[in-house]
Structure 1
Amino acid sequence: MNSRVARLILVATVVAAVALGAGCPRRAPEVEAPPVVTPVRGDTLVIGDVAPMVLNPILATDVPSATINGLVFSGLVRANDRLEFEPELAESWDMSPDGLVWTFHLRDDVTWHDGTPFTAEDVAFTLERIRDPHTITVRRGDYEQVDRWEVVDPHTFRVYFKEPFAPALQAFSIGVIPKHLLQGVDINTAPFNTNPVGTGRFRFREWKPDVHVILDRNEEYFEQVPYLDSIAFRLIPDDAVRMEELAGGGIDFAGILPVQYARMKGVPHLAVHRFPALRFDYFGWNERLPLFDDDRVRNALGLALDREAIAAAAYEGFAVPATGPFPLASWAIDPAVQPLGYDPERAKQLMAEAGWRDTDGDTWLDRDGKRFEFEFLGRAGDPIAKMVIELAMEYYKAIGVKLNPLFLEWGDLVSRLDPPRRAFEAFFLGFSVGVDPDVHIFYHSTQAEWGFNDTNFQDAEVDRLIDEGRRTMDFAARKQVYYQLHRRLHDTQPVTFMFFREAILGVDQRFQGVVPSPIGTLWNVEHWWVPQAQQKHPAP
């Protein structure tokens, strides 16, 4: 017997003897059960963010507004951390075999924050306002396949579609608005939009412009009543200032800049989370302008950029080059599609094919006496945007394209992009997408005037694939449609798809129950709580 085998036998014998008590009867040791921790009420979560635009879910176009609206309002359904839809205001739903009729069975225990009962009339009213041409909303395209609807009874709502509609649940995750407060009112200018009443987990208390938005616990919430007394959004437009407030304890929760990741990991009171986000960053081109209405030009503007180098410099390893609008967590992303490479010579060739050449020897491309030059918008106070745009300016200079940066405050930037203004030439922005990969309101030609198709992109094949993806109910078949759509969007470059980035968030460690998810860290905030001894803010 070799020594190694002997040692193994000896070890096995000793372990067995210990496990069996070497043949001696012994009483099993008493193991103390871990204490049961019961969540307690109290404290305020202070979040640092830029200012919202409008507190009405059918009008909002920006993420800060959507974050607050998601706490104040409820949809018929909602997405969970598994990227699945689950009941919210609707207890259940059923679909006819042909996919044309959806029936939502609503809860009967829900009240608006002013005490008025919620009913199916509110759902019908919300659809009416979205579909009303007078309403300034980018959401109308999500409901254009609705043929009609009916209030069956106070707690049953039925929708009839013109054809099968696969993204129906995502469409009905939008927050429902109250009929009794908004009927007969111009919804675009209603005081409600800065003083909202919803059915959600938190109720609105106060919005002081440029200072804060405060929400309080909804004691009548129909599911888990939040443990936290309130959530306060401190409106801090400068990202660097927010980082100092987070590190110093002035705020409890904020997104973290990649350059600050290592530092924030070392802050004792912070828990730092990183995870894939349902988001992509992109360069948008106003294709209403002759500069950008050529696929060759947009491809050239993508090929001129070294995304790998930009990602390393601006995102410090927390982003990878994007291949299209479907994030890495989406089932619709075609893994065979690769990002545009860095090829400045090919970019110059494509620009020349589109008629852009340096005809006067000044190093800048021109056509018909006009230089290829444009104003490029970014958000002021965002160091990532500043670095990305400044690097892009140098890459474009190398191929003879002149980028003139202009950094605007968040509200000014959004108002330049949104309908009806569309007052821009080009911009850098990130966009958060839904659980369902339907991109109709972003890239379908019908959405250029009032949808999220800011850039006026129009392509018949993209339209066809988007329409086919919406009416295909079989998952495997639908997935193949989106693979085709992904490839077509990559080829036509409606925007320059820049990066898939990771979300990096810092949360004060006194908050328990935090479960980060691609759909957003606040998805389960009603379950967050703070031990009594660690609470910082007394009840209002």
Structure 2
Amino acid sequence: MASDTDQERRWRRFQKISFDKKQTLKRIRKVEVTSIRHAHKFVLKRWRNLRDVRRIVAFWIVTVGCLIAAAGLQLAWDRQSYQAEAGALGSTYAEAAIGPIQTLNPLFADTPAEEAVSRLLFSRIFVYDATGNLNYDLAKKVEVSQDSLVYTITLRSDVSWHDGRTLTADDVVFTTELLKDTSTRAQIRGWDTIDITKKDDFVVEFKLKSAYAPFESALTFPVLPKHILGDVPHESIREHSFSNTPIGSGPFSFRLLQDIEASSERRFVHLSANKDYYRGAPKLARVQILSVPDEAAVLNALKLNEVNGASGLSVAAMKTLSQNQRYRTMSQPIQGGVYALLNNDSEILSDKKVRQALQRATNVEEVRQKLGGDVPALDLPYTDLQVSGNVPKAPSFNLNEAKKLLDEAGWKLDDSGTRMKDGKELRLSVVTTKNDEYQKALETLLGQWRQLGISIDERVIDASDATQNFVQATLQPRAYDVLIYQLMIGRDPDVFAFWHSSQAVARGLNLANYANDLADDILTSARSTRGAALRNTKHLAFARQWLDDAPAIGLYQSTVNSVVSKSVRGLDGSDIIVSPGERFNSILYWTVGDRTIYKTP
């Protein structure tokens, strides 16, 4: 009951409370003013201060960032000053080459692919350097007798075969005996009159029957190991297992011969760097040579990244690849050229006036333009590196003079526009081998010569097709009036093998059957003269006689066209090379890929 009374009292007290509206509003306004004042003092003013602080903080952040960036740039600049990009060590270079690989014995190398492997596996007494000059390889010293008949060669004593055996004079004598023996069937010939004697383990002596000024250039043959092949009959050397598993002494050693296809049209030869190579270990760890049947297969291998280089390409392929940013293309003249060889023994071309007429009617500039325009000229039996001074020039293109010469030779135009003599038509058989460039040259020549009223039978032979038997059926019997063909002259100007009448035989290289007593005397004298200036004078005399007799027409200088990935370093196409295989003479310095090195302060 007491609790009820207390509640009643509180209720009555509450009811008596009075409410002053004015006073309440006054107090509310006071509270509002106080709240606003405090908000300005403690919130809004501090908010403005915070914005100022943010500006200061942002300024310092930017300043510190700039300092860090400047320090980073300075560090990068310092690193750039003391670092450089160089070729990566221990990489792999793979190259596609046209032609089958049927043997790895260098004495029988006959295709670009086989020649490439030969250059990498085997050493030679002499090699050509990057300037195109002859230099020592296995040779350490050369002494020549006063009569130029005896050459004494001292060999290096630090050369080892890939199996660890030392290369000695025995190996050089053994290889030379192989070359002298025709039963060996080597691609290298002309050694049958040379005698060789071992003087001691590292000295050999060559004796010549007559003086031969360019003899040292003949000492570029690959040397084979006697301790492996010495007991093999010479006629069986090619079939020996060595042809599939060779042991050489060059910068790379053989690892594996891999058939990519059952037909053996595509084969990979895998080579490893010879770390004990006497001229220093290569920078590459491995080289792979892929043999392919044709140019289309080369281009496909490049497209599939099977290789990072290729050689032996046509001008058309080079133009296509030059537009691809992945590759660097190179076209290097070699010491050889393509000629229209006029068969001096043929019934029609035995007449000098007819040969001269073809010479005047040939616009070689048009031939070179048809091939792409960048093909070097070659008007003489020599390249520009072989002769100098007052070099004679070939007669200019002159169609009217050519017609006049044919008229003088008795070949008159009949009413149909055909040249006739004694009731016989002036008809020539023109032959070349299957090759894009040769065939374009053939097509251009036919168009030019037909303007003279000459009838022409053209024939293109696939030299790689054994059934067509090009050498035995065409070259050796000289079964043509005109042959468009390449002559590999070499670095030395001695062209005796191509133009001396003694070489106009079935197995000889005088494919024009050229014979002139004066020319023979000049060539014989020039090859026995050691003085460079006198030799040059004699070769210039021969060039003048050659141009007058017109046994052939120089069309263009040969080139080796190659392409490599831009990651490949060490070759830029500036080397002077004698033959395509000698592209690899600088292989020690090739690399693939990049690495960073520090510069020496």
Under a length normalisation based on structure 2, what TM-score does the superposition of the two structures give? 0.73
User: For structure 1, which segment, 85-94 or 277-286, has the greater mean C-alpha deviation from structure 2 after superposition?
Assistant: 277-286
Q: Which residue matches 1:405? A: 458
Decide whether the 8 Å contact of 2:266 with 2:292 is kept in 1. yes
- Is there any run of 5+ residues in structure 2 with no aligned partner, and where? 1-76, 597-601
Q: 1:234 to 1:64 in 2, by over 3 A?
A: closer
More helix by share: 2
1:287-436 mapped onto 2 (5 Å cutoff)? 287-314=344-371, 316-328=372-384, 330-333=385-388, 336-357=391-412, 361=416, 363-365=418-420, 369=424, 371-379=426-434, 382-412=435-465, 416-417=470-471, 421-422=476-477, 424-425=479-480, 426-436=482-492
1:201 and 2:234 equivalent? no
> Kindly tell me: are residues 445 and 112 of structure 1, through their superposed partners in 2, closer, same or farther at Cα, counting changes over 3 Å?
farther
Q: Quick one: which of 247, 267, 276 aligns to 1:212?
A: 267
Q: Identify the residue that residue 501 of structure 2 maps to in structure 1.
A: 445
Q: 1:365 to 1:501 in 2, by over 3 A?
A: farther
Q: Secondary structure at the match of 1:277?
A: strand
C-alpha separation in 2, matches of 1:368 and 1:200: 63
Q: List alignment gaps of at least 5 residues for structure 1.
A: 1-28, 535-540
Pairwise CA distance, 1:374: 0.9
- The residue type equivalent to 1:68 in the other structure is V
Tell me the equivalent position of 1:477: 534
Partner of 1:131: 180
Matched, 1:167 2:167: no
1:222 deviation in Å? Answer: 3.0
Correspondence 1:93-112 to 2 at 5 A? 93-112=142-161
Q: How does 1:107-122 map to 2 (within 5 A)?
A: 107-113=156-162, 115-122=164-171
Task: Return closer, same or farther for 1:40/1:460 CA change in 2, 3 Å cut-off.
Answer: same
Q: Deviations over 1:124-156 (max 9, x none)?
A: 233323333445457434x4663x321111211
Work out whether 1:177 is the aligned partner of 2:219. Answer: no
- Contact 1:47–1:253 (CA under 8 A) maintained in structure 2: yes
Q: 1:135 to 1:333 in 2, by over 3 A?
A: farther
**Secondary structure, aligned partner of 2:592:** coil
AA matched with 1:169: E
Go from structure 1 to structure 2 and tell me whether the alpha carbon gap of 1:375 and 1:501 turns closer, same or farther (over 3 Å shift): closer
Mapped partners of 1:297, 1:371: distance in 2: 10
Counterpart contact for 2:87–2:595, Cα < 8 Å: no
Alpha-carbon displacement from aligned partner over 1:321-345 (angstroms, at most 9, x marks no partner): 42213222x1425553223322233
Which residue pairs with 1:152 in the alignment? 199
Distance 1:308 1:254 in 2: 25
* SS state at 1:411 partner: coil
Give the corresponding residue for 2:35. Answer: none
Q: 1:468 to 1:57 in 2, by over 3 A?
A: farther
Q: Tell me, yes or no, if the aligned pair for 1:466 and 1:485 is still in contact at 8 Å.
A: yes
Instruction: Give the equivalent residue in structure 2 for 1:15.
Output: none
Tell me how far apart the structure 1 counterparts of residues 558 and 108 of structure 2 sit (CA, whole Å). 27
Distance, in Å, in 2 between the alignment partners of 1:216 and 1:351 is: 58
CA distance 1:259–1:407, change in 2 (3 Å)? same
Q: 1:402 to 1:531 in 2, by over 3 A?
A: same
Q: Quick check: 2:427–2:457 contact (8 Å CA) kept in 1?
A: no
Cross-structure match for 2:590: 528
- Misfit runs of 4+, over 6 Å: none
- For 2:497 and 2:470, locate their aligned partners in 1 and report how far apart those are by CA, in whole Å: 18
For the Cα contact (< 8 Å) 1:94–1:104, is it kept in 2? yes
- Percent identity for Structure 1 against Structure 2: 21
Residue 244 of structure 1, CA deviation: 5.7
- For 2:448 and 2:167, the matched residues in 1 are separated by 55
How far is 1:318 from its partner? 1.0
Please state how far the C-alpha of 1:73 moved relative to its aligned partner.
Answer: 2.5
Counterpart residue type for residue 229 of structure 2: L
Q: Is the 8 A contact 1:122 1:178 kept in 2?
A: yes
Change (3 A) 1:191 1:496: farther
Instruction: Measure, in 1, the Cα distance between the counterparts of 2:390 and 2:464.
Output: 36
Instruction: Summarize the Cα distance change of 1:67–1:415 in structure 2 as closer, same or farther, 3 Å threshold.
Output: farther
**Structure 1 residue 422, shift from structure 2 partner:** 4.4
Partner of 1:510: 567
Query: How many positions carry a matched residue from both structures?
Result: 499
Deviations 1:290-330 (CA, angstroms, capped at 9, x unpaired): 3433433333222222111221122x2212442213222x1
Q: Which residue pairs with 1:461 in the alignment?
A: 518
* Whole-angstrom distance in 1 between the partners of 2:93 and 2:398: 51
- With over 3 angstroms needed to count, the CA separation of the structure-2 counterparts of 1:111 and 1:451, relative to structure 1, is farther
Inter-partner Cα distance in structure 1 for 2:496 and 2:556: 21
Check conservation: 1:323, 1:340, Cα contact below 8 A: no
Q: Distance in 1 between matches of 2:331 and 2:487?
A: 18
Distance 1:134 1:189 in 2: 10
Determine helix, strand or coil for the equivalent of 2:540: helix
- Is contact 2:86–2:595 with CA below 8 Å preserved after alignment? no
Report SS of the residue matched to 1:497.
strand
Cα offset for 1:83? Answer: 1.7
What do the CA deviations read for 1:325-381 (whole angstroms, capped 9, x no partner)?
A: 3222x14255532233222333334344445445685725466646523141232xx
For residues 134 and 346 of structure 1, do their structure 2 counterparts lie closer, same or farther at Cα, with a shift above 3 Å needed?
A: farther
Are residues 36 and 229 of structure 1, via their aligned partners in 2, closer, same or farther at CA, if it must alter by over 3 Å? Answer: same
CA distance in 1, matches of 2:121, 2:175: 15
Q: Contact 1:417–1:454 at 8 Å: present in 2 too?
A: no
Q: What is the alpha-carbon distance in structure 1 between the residues aligned to residue 176 and residue 348 of structure 2?
A: 38
Correspondence 1:273 to 2:322? no
How many angstroms apart in 1 are the aligned matches of 2:390 and 2:537? 12
RMSD: 3.4
Following the alignment from structure 2 to structure 1, what is the Cα–Cα distance between the partners of residues 416 and 350? 25
> If the length of structure 1 is used for normalisation, what is the TM-score?
0.81
Shifted more, 57-66 versus 127-136: the winner is 57-66
The amino acid across from 2:569 in the alignment is Q
Q: Distance in 1 between matches of 2:340 and 2:348?
A: 14
Q: Equivalent residue of 2:83, what SS?
A: coil
Superposed displacement of residue 246, structure 1: 3.9
Larger deviation, residues 56-65 vs 155-164: 56-65
Q: Given that residues 74 and 175 in structure 1 are in contact (C-alpha distance below 8 angstroms), is that contact kept between their aligned partners in structure 2?
A: yes
Partners of 1:62 and 1:368 in 2: how far apart? Answer: 46
User: What is the CA-CA distance between 1:211 and the residue it aligns to?
Assistant: 1.4
Report the 3-state secondary structure (helix = DSSP H, G, I; strand = E; otherwise coil) of the residue aligned with 1:342. coil
Q: Secondary structure at the residue paired with 2:140? A: strand
Could you tell me which amino acid in structure 2 is paired with residue 92 of structure 1?
A: K
